[in-house]
Chain A
Amino acid sequence: MRNIMGTGPAREIIMPIVQMAIFVAGAGALCSVIMIILATLFQGSGADHLLQSTQGVGIFAYTVGNLPQVLIDGMTIGFVYAAIALGYTMVYGVLQFINFAHSEIFAIGAFAGVESLIALNAVGSLAKAGTIGSFGYFGLALLIGMAVAGGTAVFVERVAYRPLRNSPKLVPLISAIGVSFALQDIIRLTESLTTGQFYRVIPTFGNFDDRLTLFTIGSKAIDIQVKSLVVILAAVTMLVALNYLVKATKVGKAIRAVSQDPNTAALLGIGVNGVISLTFLVGGSLGGAAGVMYALKFTRIDPFVGFMPGIKAFAAAVLGGIGNLTGALLGGIVLGMIESFAGAYLGTFTQGAFGAEYKDMVAFLILILVIIFRPNGLLGENLSQKA
């Protein structure tokens, strides 16, 4: 009986890690294979000759040589997208509603985290911190970002969505768009008031910019920036924790119950409003954490910083199958990979006609193609995984 009652906590921790590994390996392998095939086809082309004359390597060697770095970058950004996408998909799960303000929740998390680091920097703490200490401070910033973003998400639901719960679906959607603009301006106002500038740059501290050598191929070292590693580890930890919460805890089961049938859930004593608030808290915290990680990776943030990652994470959620937690994870990783590959190789293969700045176009084109053929997303309607 015990093994039936407790669904095996270890299983709920190991399984998502295995799942993530499979998703990363699968998406990475697929993109790599396509790239290698393209590189083979492009041998002897103008792009090949151009590379030979400028860098002294053929297109095939160039493509293969860059693969490890591109994969690492794709994985890093993919996990960030996945963390944001989970917020969209969880809220969609319980309310069948797209929370367009989620991108600003992300931004608020980013600002809260960065502001706390700036404050720590101002009192000199960051400068004094050793390697471990700086990880600790980053962890603290991450928690602050999560708390502020989670709290804001709960507040927004309470004042801007709950009163519209029984209105036609379009109404809360408009409200969400309104909230999105309002939050952008609130960030801009509060940030400008103190310094006259509305953007912030994360302080340089610790060894986040160092590169760790993972392994060497011949003379070429494959390395990873410490901050990318931190982002990956933090994201994986949170995704595992989320999976555990949703699968193995009582409130997690209540979240799933509400998303599948709110009336019956209420009849069984589950406070639906409480569960919805909790969903916004969890989704918002994940978004806020993603914001802080994004700030660490890309250093500069402004009030509009949430827009692109937000829209991409939304795309990732749709790609994976909106409402489906595993789908959001898969969608985020796939989108991150595609983007990273497009960013790294588009310029070379088109001899500069399309630069890395077209990576988003490629990512969204692939998204459109996927949903034309699989309107329910890659993982479709998998009820067992629905938030």
Chain B
Amino acid sequence: MSVLELDNIHSYYGNIHALMGISLTVEKGEIVALIGANGAGKTTTLRSISGLLHPRKGHVLLEGKDISHLPPHTVHRAGLGLVPEGRGIFPGLTVLENLEMGAYIIDDKAEIEKGIQNAFSLFPRLKERAQQMGGTLSGGEQQMLATARGLMSNPTILLMDEPSMGLAPVLVDQIFEIIKELNKRGTTILLVEQNALMALSIANRGYVLQTGNIVLTDTGANLKANDMVRKAYLGM
């Protein structure tokens, strides 16, 4: 059974038909990349999975369980973690409080503490800034915080929406290293990226999204070598 399965998803914003029958799967232990141009529907796909937007047709299955019509907080409890587009840091909560909110569904204090230590070992920078307000962090630090916060609940699968957006090249490398590291530690990841080259380099498999349709799917390496992908997304 796939960790995540989308079966013919149709999503709308009012009358705008944003997703026109998306199907994809993510298997346990994989990194799957979802690439596509601006406005292709990548964020909409993640919104449709996480419960912020309910697909009008089709099903989203998380470990075989239909979550298509659950509200986001219930979807999260079912094991889905999200690092949202724009990072979604609570500006008026401290770094530590942001992390605590990531563990909102966990009641065991010791487990929360363990999660925080884990976050600090992944991102030592966050430890230095523990008492600082989230809104005062730099973009890169906010991305680290969003990623760390997404891991606090030990999700079955982590959805990441453009983690490299707005980061300096050296930080982009670092973020991708961390994604690989997280995956090695056992986290299954669905990665949405503009930076198709990097995403496909670390992904087991990838999907190419064009105006609400999946137009291509293959292994990361094959997609990187694909002519159409090279022209359209890698600028080669």
Specify which of A5, A268, A385, A386 lies most central, judged by the most chain B CB atoms within 10 Å of its CB.
A268
The stretch of B2-10, B130-138, B162-170, B197-205 that contacts the partner chain: B130-138
Q: Does B68 interact with chain A (Cβ within 8 Å)?
A: no
How far is B76's CA from A4's CA once the two chains are assembled, in angstroms?
A: 26
**Contacts A383-B133, A383-B135; is A268 near B102 (CB within 8 Å)?**
yes
B52 in contact with A261 (CB, 8 Å)? no
Q: Does A257 interact with chain B (Cβ within 8 Å)?
A: yes
Q: Does B194 interact with chain A (Cβ within 8 Å)?
A: no
Q: Which residues of B contact A250 (CB under 8 A)?
A: 100, 104
**Contacts A1-B113, A4-B130, A253-B100; is A269 near B153 (CB within 8 Å)?**
yes
The stretch of B29-37, B91-99, B185-193, B217-225 that contacts the partner chain: B91-99
- Quick one: closest A residue to B46, CB to CB? A267
How far is B91's CA from A271's CA once the two chains are assembled, in angstroms?
A: 20
Q: Which residues of B contact A264 (CB under 8 A)?
A: 84, 88, 90
Chain A contact residues: over half helix, strand or loop, or mixed? helix
How far is B1's CA from A96's CA once the two chains are assembled, in angstroms?
A: 44
A267 in contact with B82 (CB, 8 Å)? yes
B73 in contact with A269 (CB, 8 Å)? yes
Q: Does A384 interact with chain B (Cβ within 8 Å)?
A: yes
Q: How large is the interface on A (under 10, 10 to 19, 20 to 34, 35 or more residues)?
A: 20 to 34
Q: Which residues of B contact A254 (CB under 8 A)?
A: 101, 104
B101 in contact with A270 (CB, 8 Å)? yes
Q: Which residues of A contact B101 (CB under 8 A)?
A: 253-254, 257, 265, 268, 270
How far is B132's CA from A102's CA once the two chains are assembled, in angstroms?
A: 35
How far is B109's CA from A260's CA once the two chains are assembled, in angstroms?
A: 25
Distance in Å: Cβ of A15 to nearest Cβ of chain B: 15
A270 in contact with B113 (CB, 8 Å)? no
The contact of B90 among A1, A257, A269, by CB within 8 Å, is: A257
How far is B84's CA from A167's CA once the two chains are assembled, in angstroms?
A: 25
The contact of A268 among B76, B91, B130, B135, by CB within 8 Å, is: B76
Distance in Å: Cβ of B40 to nearest Cβ of chain A: 21
Q: Does B77 interact with chain A (Cβ within 8 Å)?
A: yes
Q: Does A272 interact with chain B (Cβ within 8 Å)?
A: yes
B50 in contact with A268 (CB, 8 Å)? no
- Quick one: closest A residue to B105, CB to CB? A269
Q: Which residues in window 245-276 of A have CB below 8 A to B?
A: 250, 253-254, 256-257, 260-261, 263-272
**Chain A-chain B contacts (Cβ-Cβ < 8 Å), number:** 81
How far is B110's CA from A7's CA once the two chains are assembled, in angstroms?
A: 16
Q: Does B21 interact with chain A (Cβ within 8 Å)?
A: no
Distance in Å: Cβ of A12 to nearest Cβ of chain B: 13
Q: Which residues of A contact B104 (CB under 8 A)?
A: 250, 254, 268-270
A267 in contact with B50 (CB, 8 Å)? yes
Q: Which residues in window 117-151 of B have CB below 8 A to A?
A: 117, 130-131, 133, 135, 149
Q: Which residues of B contact A256 (CB under 8 A)?
A: 90, 92-93, 97
**Contacts A253-B101, A269-B105, A270-B104; is A383 near B153 (CB within 8 Å)?**
no
Q: Does B72 interact with chain A (Cβ within 8 Å)?
A: yes
Q: Which residues of B contact A263 (CB under 8 A)?
A: 52, 72, 84, 88
A257 in contact with B93 (CB, 8 Å)? yes
How far is B192's CA from A144's CA once the two chains are assembled, in angstroms?
A: 53
A260 in contact with B71 (CB, 8 Å)? no
B92 in contact with A384 (CB, 8 Å)? yes
Q: Which residues of B contact A270 (CB under 8 A)?
A: 73, 101, 104
How far is B92's CA from A257's CA once the two chains are assembled, in angstroms?
A: 8
Q: Which residues of A contact B50 (CB under 8 A)?
A: 267
Q: Which residues of B contact A257 (CB under 8 A)?
A: 90, 93, 101
Q: A268-B101, A270-B73 are in contact. List 12 more A-B contacts (CB 8 A).
A: A4-B96, A4-B131, A5-B109, A250-B100, A253-B97, A254-B104, A263-B72, A264-B88, A266-B52, A269-B73, A269-B105, A385-B92
Chain A: residues with CB nearer than 8 A to chain B?
1, 4-5, 250, 253-254, 256-257, 260-261, 263-272, 383-386
Give me the 8 closest cross-chain CB pairs, A-B, nearest first. Answer: A264-B88, A383-B92, A269-B105, A266-B72, A269-B76, A260-B90, A269-B104, A269-B73
The contact sample of 20 A-B pairs, CB cut-off 8 A, is: A4-B96, A4-B131, A5-B109, A254-B101, A254-B104, A256-B90, A260-B92, A263-B52, A263-B84, A264-B88, A267-B88, A268-B104, A269-B73, A269-B153, A270-B73, A271-B73, A384-B92, A384-B133, A385-B92, A386-B92
